[in-house]
Chain A
Amino acid sequence: MDAELKELYQQVILDHNKNPRNFKKIENANHFAEGYNPLCGDRLNIYVELEGGRIKDISFQGSGCAISKASASLMSSIVKGLPVEEAERLFEKFQAVITGKITDEENIEELGKLAVFAGVKEFPSRVKCASLAWHTMIAAFKQEEKSVSTE
């Protein structure tokens, strides 16, 4: 593979695409949002169980490209257990990295595993794929469970 392409499709991303983590609907979810990317028709449902301002559990379902699926998978494994504010801060940093606003190694490293998405910045049309899960999660924080039960 071409080097730039390899940066985009890192092994971690390919793995998460093939075997996504938390790819299910959690029964105890009290927050829910549906994400939609009209550009590619991708749909993503995010289920969150919040307890005392913390993400007790989180999962997702839907169809999407490798980038969006891996992003949802990695995001769900990383934010599980975090306070909501911390997840929101993480998203801001993530967004800055994938849009190329933060490029210094040190800052990127702070993202931990999420740093594998840094290659996305070279592919402007794919930024939305990487951020769909995050946007949807943030929306879910604000949306009470009634959407879930209408599912």
Chain B
Amino acid sequence: MATEIINNNKRKSTGFDVNKIRADFPILKEIIHGKPLCYLDNAATTQKPQAVIDTIVKYYTSQNANIHRGVHYLSELATKEFEDARTKVKDFINASSEKEIIFTRGTTESINLVANVFNKAILKDGDEIIISAMEHHSNIVPWQLIQDQKKIKLRIIPIDDNGEIIFDEFIKLINEKTKLISIVYVSNSLGTINPVERIIEEAHRHNIPVLLDAAQAIQHIKIDVQILDCDFLAFSGHKIYGPTGIGVLYGKEKLLESLPPFLGGGDMISKVTFEKTTYNELPYKFEAGTSNIADTIGLGTAIDYVSQIGLEQISVHENEILDYATESLLQIPELKIIGQAKHKSSVISFIFDNIHPHDAGTFLDFEGIAIRTGHHCTQPVMDRFNIPATSRASFAMYNTKEEVDVLVKGIKKLIEVFN
């Protein structure tokens, strides 16, 4: 780990200025219980830079109109802003066309969309879907909902004590009944970065499509969907410094073309009569009803913001914080880190011998420290490690080593009071 830090420092010569970035996020100046906010709950949601806030205010102040089909000035303006955001998303993940970018409410809706249309068009009794033991509930429950209607089997890739998937077991799960592999790119409770390249390669050797839940990857790892060759990719705007209520489903054009619509309504049609309706072209076929226009445009600004700084620089900084935090927390004998994968993103889950995560969370809150405690919507992971819950610190581009020190100091105080 130490050598990695040195390497990171060397690469970090191009002027990543964390203080300058912090100044862009007004909420970071808040005082909580008399202490400066130390926001370490970024895996739950990230804070928003002023630029994103301004975009939303500007939209409602001077651009608001419903999009598509409008002939008046504001409608055309709003449509352009909205479609520009789609292009920004397309460029950000290097999709080949705007047709492959579907706006949803978030990762959850994106996965539900795929589950629903797969259920309608592809899945039959006896078919199997592969997921992993570290999925967020949003990549478990949508598949279980199908099980209420059809005899679909969910096959689960097991994980080892470090929180890594057991690849050999994954290979054994693949068979001719496998219709989709839906897997989390980065685990929100363990921080594990899954070997998605290898998973996709293996799946495609059997002609099985792969959906990546990129909710915790999109803000940390440069994603090129053409190089990755994933078939679907889902993420949420609010975890990449954008607004809540807006997310993305990327899908390969051919695949999306072949699938039926999800919801029905306005915008997703090209012609409606009472006898027959023809559906609109991609991506509108999958976007029924008035979209979340303001937040979509806000997401576009968030992507601009991240792109300006550069994901590569961001991840170098975040890895440095992660390594520093890991080393610092390992110095505390009463604390145990859950999730020690070789490749990790900036998430650290930890538990104490005698202190419950909820007490830790409440106590640290009074030090101004925001961490998350609980099962992090990954109850099967908690069961796998035989624990009811963890405390989780997760870092973003604006976090500093000083904040890690605040966390460590807070934890030491906590141990003093509770042990």
- Taking beta carbons and an 8 Å cutoff, which residues of A are in contact with B? 1-2, 4-5, 8-9, 14, 17-18, 39-43, 63-67, 69, 123, 126, 129
Q: Is the CB of B418 within 8 A of A126?
A: no
Say yes or no for B22: interface residue by CB 8 A criterion: no
Q: B335-362: contact bitstring with A at CB < 8 Å (1 yes, 0 no)?
A: 0000000000000000000111111001
Given that A39-B374, A65-B356, A65-B358 are contacting pairs, would A14 and B366 also be in contact in the complex, using a CB cutoff of 8 Å?
no
The majority secondary structure among interface residues of chain B is mixed
CA distance A48 to B121 in the complex (A): 55
Given that A41-B375, A66-B356 are contacting pairs, would A14 and B389 also be in contact in the complex, using a CB cutoff of 8 Å?
no
> For residue B418, which residues in chain A have a CB less than 8 angstroms away from its CB?
14, 17, 66
> For residue B358, which residues in chain A have a CB less than 8 angstroms away from its CB?
40, 65, 67, 126, 129
> For residue B219, which residues in chain A have a CB less than 8 angstroms away from its CB?
none
**Closest CB of chain B to A144's CB: distance in Å?**
28
- Taking beta carbons and an 8 Å cutoff, which residues of B are in contact with A? 33-34, 354-359, 362-363, 366, 373-375, 379, 382, 388-389, 417-418
- Given A63-B356, A66-B356, 7 more pairs with CB closer than 8 A: A1-B417, A40-B356, A40-B388, A41-B379, A41-B382, A63-B388, A65-B357
> For residue A42, which residues in chain B have a CB less than 8 angstroms away from its CB?
356, 388
Given that A40-B357, A41-B388, A63-B388 are contacting pairs, would A2 and B366 also be in contact in the complex, using a CB cutoff of 8 Å?
yes
> For residue B379, which residues in chain A have a CB less than 8 angstroms away from its CB?
41
Q: Is the CB of A40 within 8 A of B362?
A: no
> For residue B417, which residues in chain A have a CB less than 8 angstroms away from its CB?
1, 9, 14
Task: Give the contacting residue for B362; candidates A5, A39, A43, A69; CB below 8 A.
Answer: A5
CA distance A1 to B34 in the complex (A): 12
CA distance A126 to B34 in the complex (A): 21
> For residue B366, which residues in chain A have a CB less than 8 angstroms away from its CB?
1-2, 4-5
Closest 5 CB pairs of A and B: A41-B388, A65-B356, A65-B358, A2-B366, A5-B366
Task: Give the contacting residue for A40; candidates B34, B355, B363, B374; CB below 8 A.
Answer: B374
> For residue A18, which residues in chain B have a CB less than 8 angstroms away from its CB?
354
What are 30 A-B contacts defined by CB distance under 8 Å? A1-B417, A4-B33, A4-B366, A5-B363, A5-B366, A9-B359, A14-B417, A14-B418, A17-B418, A18-B354, A40-B357, A40-B358, A40-B373, A40-B374, A40-B375, A41-B375, A41-B379, A41-B382, A41-B389, A42-B388, A43-B388, A64-B356, A65-B357, A65-B358, A65-B359, A66-B356, A66-B359, A66-B418, A123-B362, A126-B358
**Closest CB of chain A to B381's CB: distance in Å?**
11
Which one of B33, B34, B388 has the greatest number of beta carbons of chain A within 10 Å? B388
Q: Which residue of A lies closest to B419 (CB)?
A: A18
> For residue B359, which residues in chain A have a CB less than 8 angstroms away from its CB?
9, 65-67
> For residue B362, which residues in chain A have a CB less than 8 angstroms away from its CB?
5, 8, 123, 126
> For residue B356, which residues in chain A have a CB less than 8 angstroms away from its CB?
40, 42, 63-66, 69
> For residue B373, which residues in chain A have a CB less than 8 angstroms away from its CB?
40
CA distance A63 to B387 in the complex (A): 10
**Closest CB of chain A to B150's CB: distance in Å?**
28
> For residue B33, which residues in chain A have a CB less than 8 angstroms away from its CB?
2, 4
**Closest CB of chain B to A127's CB: distance in Å?**
12
Q: Which residue of B lies closest to A66 (CB)?
A: B359
> For residue A5, which residues in chain B have a CB less than 8 angstroms away from its CB?
362-363, 366
> For residue A40, which residues in chain B have a CB less than 8 angstroms away from its CB?
356-358, 373-375, 388-389
> For residue A8, which residues in chain B have a CB less than 8 angstroms away from its CB?
362
**Closest CB of chain A to B31's CB: distance in Å?**
13
**Closest CB of chain B to A82's CB: distance in Å?**
28
CA distance A63 to B388 in the complex (A): 8
**Closest CB of chain A to B353's CB: distance in Å?**
12
Q: Which residue of B lies closest to A8 (CB)?
A: B362
CA distance A63 to B389 in the complex (A): 11
> For residue A66, which residues in chain B have a CB less than 8 angstroms away from its CB?
355-356, 359, 418
CA distance A109 to B48 in the complex (A): 47
CA distance A64 to B374 in the complex (A): 11
CA distance A8 to B366 in the complex (A): 12
Q: Which residue of A lies closest to B365 (CB)?
A: A5
> For residue A69, which residues in chain B have a CB less than 8 angstroms away from its CB?
356
CA distance A39 to B376 in the complex (A): 10
CA distance A64 to B359 in the complex (A): 10
